Amino acid sequence: MSSNERTFRELGLSEYLLRSLDELGYEKPTPIQSASIDPLMAGKDIIGQAQTGTGKTGAFALPLLNKIDMKINAPQILVLAPTRELAVQVAEAFGSYAKHMKGFHVLPIYGGQSMQQQLNALKRGPQVIVGTPGRVMDHMRRGTLKLDTLKALVLDEADEMLKMGFIDDIEWVLEHKPANSQLALFSATMPEQIKRVANKHLNNPVNISIAASHTTVESIDQRFVQVSQHNKLEALVRVLEVENTEGIIIFVRTRNSCVELAEKLEARGYASSPLHGDMNQQARERAVEQLKRGKLDILIATDVAARGLDVERIGHVVNYDIPYDSEAYVHRIGRTGRAGRKGMAILFVTNREMRMLRTIERATNSRISPMKVPSPETVAERRLSRLGEQIQETLNGDLDFMKNAVAELCQQLEVDTDLLAAALLQQVQQERPLQLPTITERQRDSRDDRSERGDRGGDRPRRERGNRPAPTSFGSADTLKDNPDVKMNRYVIDVGRENGVGVGNIVGAIANEANIDSRFIGQIQLFDQVTTVDLPDGMPKDILSHLKKVRVCGRPLNIREAGDEVFVDSGRGAPRKPRSDRPRGDRPRGDRPAGAERRPRKPRDNG
């Protein structure tokens, strides 16, 4: 089905939605939106075959929001998504589109989140629920999610849900939806099982197939930096120090992030300013004008605020927060490489966001090359070089008075000129030291500080009473066989053989709750009361905080770095074999940790 060139207004969307779309910078519908909005507005079922990044969330969210009855505070739209990340992303999109619909509520529900928190939110009567199949089923069985008022159900990324073993859950939910409710199925591919679901449950559906648009920005050098969330600021500062550029625009997702990052960069001596939609027009124009004139080097912007921004001086675009879709990425990086000039686009990506990176590459038909975070030595060299350039300019002036001052200070302090020069250089560079500590050194210093305060005692595993063997260190993480370049760190969790845990339980919990590809979960060793697991170094704090609370076999993981912690095992057997030596069939999948008192998932279909 070919798309037309109609505008959002011509597609019949409400003024509330049109206002939000205008503020978001949406100029015209994407092909999947143009093809889907009409039939969904008409109440028809649809099958949409389109890649992630083609605007498919808007394709179903906009027409279904248009049909919501705001007088009813009960679920009217249910969206099933394969992962909690996609569920949150889709929920945020609904919230953005419905910004001007007073009384509108959307709720993402997924495994790993507090059940009580979800129960409280459900009582407020959200009109839209976006959830993973497992948690949606939990609420339906409890009676806390009723579908009596449901007008439409959407299966988003159906092929991914099939791969993750959700097909039976999807069937169960579909069998419990109202017979007269609308059904939309979106999938990048159409495996036979998805076709069977569509044939069974969809009523005379409209079939839509949209090829991904391939956009290549040849004048822009595209790079990505893989970095943990809590090391992003440090990585950004190092990149800013090393890259040669006149003007930079840094993209973030939210206004709060925009203001916060601008303040942090200002505190580090960078001439920067926020640029977001809540700023008045005069302030926004002033910031852009300062960038044009060279009085400002960096703008930290949201997508809305940067709409239509055209400044030739911008040599770099930094995606500090990865965009939600490929079109937003193309619009962002299009701020550089203008008027025939070369530009560079740098994308910061966490482990959890690698899938979106590959999606952007496919959708834009471009190669985004890896880029290493500049080392402290490289940053020191660059800072020293710039300092030398500044001093060179000063050397051309009259320095007679300063020469006498140096001689007098050397005599007064009884030091030679080399030592005095080093001391003065140290004083001048206090705010931006030439020698940076490594991330490992900072982590070690942080552990030493905690040790001095006596904070670590509560994190140690339980000890056996009676005669104890000598304490033993957990050791350090092993290198991944298939990914030797990934730096690993060893962690300890408070669940072991005595709790009935297996390696598969651990892999399932961490893979699902932290959204880590199982290839990056290294060696796992089971002991009686604790377990060690090797994970990529620099795990984000929010993920570790979440994993601490995740329960496996009835016990919270309480995950923490192994560090110098020691343990005493009861000696009833050596640690189990590493995970890589065990069959893949015992790795559970799904949107909740294995070991909970629920029926087991089918293993992931890797085919």
Query: Looking at domain 220-374, what is its CATH homologous superfamily?
Result: P-loop containing nucleotide triphosphate hydrolases (3.40.50.300)
In tens, the pLDDT along 589-598 reads: 444 444 443 4
The b/e string for 107-125 (b: 16+ C-beta within 10 A; e otherwise) is bbbbbbbeeeebeebbeee
Residue scoring higher pLDDT (565 or 323): 323
In tens, the pLDDT along 175-184 reads: 999 999 999 9
In tens, the pLDDT along 476-513 reads: 888 887 777 778 889 999 888 877 788 878 887 888 77
If 0-12 CB within 10 Å is exposed, 13-18 middle and 19+ buried, where does residue 215 land?
middle
In tens, the pLDDT along 567-588 reads: 654 444 444 434 443 333 333 3
Q: Which amino acid is at 106?
A: V
**Where do we find the tokens 């809540």?**
278
Give CB contacts under 8 A, 24+ apart, made by 392-400.
none
Domain locations in the chain? Answer: 15-209, 220-374, 377-428, 457-586
Cα separation, 490 vs 474, in Å, equals 8
In tens, the pLDDT along 77-131 reads: 999 998 887 888 889 889 989 999 999 999 999 887 888 889 999 999 999 999 9
Which range scores top for mean pLDDT: 259-273, 294-308, 566-580?
A: 259-273
Query: Same topology for domains 15-209 and 220-374, yes or no?
Result: yes
3.40.50.1820, 3.30.70.20, 3.30.70.330, 3.40.50.300: which CATH number matches 457-586?
Answer: 3.30.70.330
Q: Which one, of 104, 131, 103, lies nearest residue 118 by Cα?
A: 131
Fold annotation for 15-209: Rossmann fold (3.40.50)
DSSP assignment of 482-520 equals S-TTS-EEEEEES--GGGT--HHHHHHHHHHHS---GGG
Angstrom distances, CA of residue 35 to CA of 24, 56, 204, 360, 429: 21, 10, 16, 22, 59
Percent of the residues in the chain that have a pLDDT greater than 90, as a whole number: 27
pTM over 0.75: no
For the chain, how are helix, strand and coil distributed in percent, rounded to 5? 40, 15, 45
Residue 248's φ and ψ, nearest 5 degrees, are -130, 140
